[in-house]
């Protein structure tokens, strides 16, 4: 099961003094709330789609196989299995029967990728419209007079803001689509207002930019504008905001970032703070570009040869039953990513939290179980020693320790305490050192020679930027939807034959 971003919102209703429930992500309380939060997040996704469907510009278009299926009639004599779930659906292509999957519109997993022949490849050498480091001038006019090769909203990224400020970006140009009759064309304008760092996009989709004027950009602040969102410093995932345990009723913008060997979820914490860590996923190879799939839970990560279709929701760790406690421990244990350790190997920072009985503690130790099942005691220096009854015990207050995580999977960290009455108490923390949550890997070496970026346009159509060209691509799903009431099967692709059992 995935972890919903809303789970923390539930947990934040606990008092801040109740640190274990409010802060620890995998307690039984968190697991219970997560079940409801996942359902609510699903409803939230569908609600957003319904609202956006009332407007042409943000209307979800890539869902539901873009609105066109290939029909197949199930004979009335065929008795559907219980629950109307077909055992097997197969499509015949080039003499081979291919097993088809049920189509899931929250995570439409592609089976193949192809050049989209309904669009043309477009010469494209630079996605950046301008890159401005402010010298402190109140009014800076950037007049690119630029025709966009692919109609898109403009994307702005602001960083290096010394403090909160009100910054306006005024854009004039020709919105897309414009009338084909020149006499009916009207110039449009739009203002973007910034009060913090991060990303903003224009509401308008533009076909031509006549001028951009920036007001009140503080000295040294860095504002960059993309006319196509290839290779942004961080890719926005604004539909799933981040909620911090410390801040009740406050949501932060979530982003995805490529770092060496990892994909990271980060959140925009405000001026002077920048992007803070949320979660990380190790990647099987060097990732060169990512994009969040609109209106679904999908994310696309591209290397030179492969495209990874990823479920971007964080999976819960395994061994969750370990978090159950029947009595208050002397110390509880919290484990978090250690942001001070750079490099491809991630480190976990172990912290112990004082509970009511800490004054009677006699000895303590940290214990670690790796995903492969090896168990170690951890010395205060961070050194691992083989686990045994007497290994690794220390006296005094449990100190913070940082340990490297060399395997992916669920680690179980524990703090064991012995009090003066020789009663042993323990608290356990399952910690997931996550790999990329890949649902499907597709070979793209035959489609594009190189990948410099990947982006969806304003109509939800996918483009891969090679550095010289923007190449239109689309997915084939090899999936089906069953309408049991009309006994029809709707296929996402055309087949030479279809059979069910």
Partner 1 sequence: MSTTPVVLLQTGPVNSTSYADVAGMPFGLDRLPGETSDQYLDRLARASVETRTHVYEGLVSELAFQLGLLTQPGIRITGPADTTISCDLCGLALVEGATSLLCPLETLDEDEAWSWKSLSSIVTLINASNLWQAQLLVPDGPAVQLCRQTNAGVGMPYECVVSEVGLIGFLEPSLPTIAATPTGGLAYQVREFLQTINQIDRSYWSR
Name the residues that contact partner 1, by CB under 8 A: 49-50, 52-57, 59-75, 78-79, 81, 88, 90, 118, 176-184, 459-461, 481, 488-490, 494-495, 497-501
CB 324: neighbour CB atoms within 10 A? 10
Min dist CB 492 to partner 1, Å, is 11
Query: 308 to each of 169, 231, 237, 448, 471, how far by Cα in Å?
Result: 36, 17, 17, 15, 18
Q: Considering beta carbons, is residue 17 or 79 the nearer one to partner 1?
A: 79
Q: How many CB atoms lie within 10 A of CB 501?
A: 9
Determine the Cα–Cα distance for residues 65 and 54; give it in Å rounded to an integer: 19
CA distances to 149, 243, 250, 267, 312 from 253, rounded to whole Å, are: 29, 9, 10, 5, 15
Collapse the DSSP code of 359 into the 3-class scheme (helix H, G, I; strand E, B; otherwise coil) and give the result: helix
The count of C-alpha atoms lying within 13 angstroms of the C-alpha of 373, restricted to the half-sphere facing its C-beta, is: 0
The nearer residue to partner 1, 107 or 363, going by C-beta atoms, is: 107
240 SS3 class: coil
> Least CB distance from residue 297 to partner 1, whole Å?
17
Element (H, E) at 23: helix 19-23
Kindly tell me which of 449 and 497 has the beta carbon lying closer to partner 1: 497
**Which CB, 184 or 422, lies closer to partner 1?**
184
Supply the DSSP symbol for 358. G
The residue length of the chain stands at 501
Q: Determine how many CB atoms are found less than 10 A away from the CB of residue 92.
A: 13
Q: In angstroms, rounded to a whole number, what is the distance separating the alpha carbons of residues 148 and 191?
A: 19
85 versus 399: smaller Cβ distance to partner 1:
85
Q: How far is the CB of 62 from partner 1 (least distance, A)?
A: 7
Bridge partners, 369 (sequence order):
375, 412
Q: From the CB of 111, what's the least distance to partner 1, in Å?
A: 18
Measuring CA to CA, which residue among 113, 103, 107, 128 is closest to residue 41? 107
Quick one: 69 or 411, whose CB is closer to partner 1?
69
Minimum CB distance to partner 1, residue 31 (Å): 34
Tell me the closest approach of the beta carbon of residue 175 to partner 1, in angstroms: 8
Pick between residue 255 and residue 480 the one whose CB is nearest to partner 1: 480
Question: Cβ 295 to partner 1, closest distance in Å?
Answer: 9
If the CB atoms of residues 184 and 326 are measured against partner 1, the closer one turns out to be 184
Distance CA 427, CA 437 (A): 28
CB 108 within 8 A of CB 460: no
Cα(369)–Cα(411) distance, integer angstroms: 6
> 479-486: which pairs have CB atoms within 8 A and are 24 or more residues apart?
479/65, 479/100, 479/101, 479/102, 479/103, 479/104, 479/108, 479/109, 479/111, 480/89, 480/100, 480/101, 480/102, 480/103, 481/69, 481/102, 481/103, 482/84, 482/86, 482/102, 484/80, 484/84
Instruction: Kindly state the smallest distance separating residue 433's Cβ from partner 1, in Å.
Output: 38
Looking at beta carbons only, is 48 or 419 nearer to partner 1?
Answer: 48
Q: Please say which residue, 122 or 128, places its beta carbon nearer to partner 1.
A: 122
Quick check: helix, strand or coil at residue 468?
A: coil
Cβ atoms of 199 and 237 closer than 8 Å: no
- Complex with partner 1: residue 331 or 480, whichever CB lies closer: 480
- Round to whole Å and give the CA distance between 11 and 15: 9
For residue 79, the minimal CB distance to partner 1 (Å) is 6
Q: Could you tell me the smallest distance in angstroms from the CB atom of residue 488 to partner 1?
A: 8
In whole angstroms, what separates CA 290 from the centre of its chain?
A: 10
Q: Which is nearer to partner 1, 81 or 373 (CB)?
A: 81
Rounded to whole angstroms, the Cα distance separating 294 from 107 reads 11
Q: How far is the CB of 186 from partner 1 (least distance, A)?
A: 9
Q: How far is the CB of 440 from partner 1 (least distance, A)?
A: 22
Distance in Å, CB of 497 to partner 1, minimum: 6
CB nearer to partner 1: pick between 60 and 435: 60
């Amino acid at each position: 099961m995935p972890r919903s971003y809303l789970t923390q919102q539930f947990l934040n209703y606990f008092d801040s003094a109740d640190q274990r429930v409010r802060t620890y992500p995998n307690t039984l309380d968190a697991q219970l709330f997560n079940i409801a939060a996942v359902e609510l997040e699903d409803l939230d996704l569908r609600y957003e789609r319904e609202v956006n469907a009332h407007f042409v510009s943000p209307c979800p278009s890539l869902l539901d196989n873009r609105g066109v299926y290939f029909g197949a009639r199930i004979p009335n004599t065929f008795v559907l299995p219980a629950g109307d779930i077909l055992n097997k659906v197969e499509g015949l292509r080039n003499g081979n029967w291919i097993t088809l999957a049920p189509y899931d519109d929250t995570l439409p997993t592609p089976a193949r990728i192809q050049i989209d022949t309904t669009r043309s490849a477009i010469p494209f050498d630079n996605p950046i419209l301008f890159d401005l480091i402010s010298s402190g001038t109140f009014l800076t006019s950037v007049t690119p007079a630029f025709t966009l090769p692919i109609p898109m909203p403009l994307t702005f990224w602001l960083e290096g803001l010394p403090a909160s400020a009100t910054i306006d970006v005024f854009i004039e140009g020709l919105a897309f689509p414009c009338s084909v009759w020149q006499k009916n064309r009207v110039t449009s304008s739009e203002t973007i207002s910034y009060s913090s760092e991060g990303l903003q996009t224009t509401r308008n989709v533009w076909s031509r930019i006549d001028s951009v004027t920036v007001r009140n950009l503080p000295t040294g602040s860095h504002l960059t504008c993309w006319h196509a969102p290839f290779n942004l410093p961080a890719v926005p995932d604004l539909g799933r905001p981040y909620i911090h345990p410390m801040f009740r009723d406050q949501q932060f913008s979530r982003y995805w970032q490529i770092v060496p060997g990892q994909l990271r979820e980060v959140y925009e914490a405000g001026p002077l703070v920048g992007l803070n860590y949320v979660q990380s996923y190790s990647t099987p190879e060097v990732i060169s570009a990512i994009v969040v799939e609109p209106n679904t839970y999908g994310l696309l990560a591209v290397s030179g040869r492969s495209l990874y279709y990823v479920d971007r929701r964080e999976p819960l760790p395994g061994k969750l039953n370990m978090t159950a406690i029947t009595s208050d421990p002397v110390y509880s244990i919290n484990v978090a990513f250690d942001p001070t350790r750079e490099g491809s190997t991630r480190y976990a920072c172990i912290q112990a939290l004082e509970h009511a009985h800490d004054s009677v503690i006699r000895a303590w130790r940290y214990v670690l179980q790796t995903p492969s099942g090896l168990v170690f005691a951890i010395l205060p220096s961070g050194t691992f020693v083989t686990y045994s009854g007497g290994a690794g015990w220390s006296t005094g207050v449990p100190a913070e320790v940082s340990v490297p995580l060399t395997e992916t999977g669920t680690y179980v960290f524990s703090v064991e305490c012995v009090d003066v009455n020789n009663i042993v108490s323990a608290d356990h923390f399952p910690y997931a050192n996550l790999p990329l949550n890949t649902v499907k890997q597709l070979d793209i070496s035959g489609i594009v020679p190189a990948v410099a970026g990947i982006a969806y346009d304003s109509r939800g159509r996918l483009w891969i930027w090679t550095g010289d060209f923007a190449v239109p691509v689309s997915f084939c799903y090899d999936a089906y939807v069953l309408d049991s009431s009309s006994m029809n099967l709707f296929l996402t692709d055309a087949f030479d034959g279809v059979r069910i059992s």
